[in-house]
Chains A and B, each alone.
Chain A
């Protein structure tokens, strides 16, 4: 009650002050006032980003992984979500809210695994394309479908380079446009984004498939603009990548991954 009275008093005094000054001001002062208001509005225009965490779900039918030894490596490979084509008009009126925030999720996952690892230097993370893959001499017609043959890795190489687990990651990104009413610098745009990352794990020395697990992140990306752009966004790709990286680190080391952003 007291708070409301104070607020009412403040608003009244502000209104009276403004009203009195405008009434007394001449045409020149009024023009100056308009210019000053515009200047203030310009100062406060621009973008205000409000990042919000996505809703994350984990589906986990994976067998347990034995913790990696000091100096062992994980091999990461997979497919990023295909880029969805959107027209220039579509991108404009939706403030590009349906566009993916990252195009190389596999590369980002590798960096994130290293970032959230609480014991840096304990294990290496190697992208498959960095391993010079030649035709494996171990592959025959019968064993052609084994994981080592598929990755063109020999048993000798797996042993010498201490490659412990191979993780295949498949990304799916889906965006739905809800409100395409944005025309800079005014308007509203809103899209729902969903990213699903499915990881399948193999133990390379035994060539055993341990199973797969998936992480999905979902959220609404909204832009509200009246010169000042208020962007409430859930970066589902980043959130899913981070969560998957944490899950991989926890399963591969048996130690809790770093929660907070280190960088």
Chain B
């Protein structure tokens, strides 16, 4: 298996109270999969992502990528953050080139690569702008281009569209779905938005809080092109709602 999480446990002590963020979580992910970690706040989805990305260590259990235990962040696995993490003193092009500098890519090639990925995220012509001159959606596109530019194996996304308005969010969801197919990356995407998860994921890992655990893993057999109002889409979405007990056994009276 490409990514292997086995019996991962993680505890925090917050205000003198112990808090179980991950309780014996096990999860296998194949190369090229689009996985959404879905759940309410406190369910450990971000903790799990941080453990996979190397920002946090689990207390017990193992987290392996490609057979190797994850111990620190790597340039092969890029994380996209909710607040973009762009460097405001660098223009768009220089931001995209950031990772290429540490990979010691020559200057002339850096520009060409930056150009390519800015075009992919629909931002060619914005090279000389600064992050503050861009909208939130555009800034996240720059961050995505910056991540893709170093040609990572895995992209971790931590509620990347959480700060965006609904329309922009949907547009970016479509783009990330297209990019994931074009670039064939393994993507692990944290969200608390059920529709977002159904729209994007090959598999949805449904998580529950207190203690943080995996409730079930739902396959989304919807293919490459997804229609938010299609019958199949709504069927999958309803199944997820059921898992969260948010669909009551309905008794509806119609007054017509």
A and B pair up = no
B-side residues, CB < 8 A to A, are none
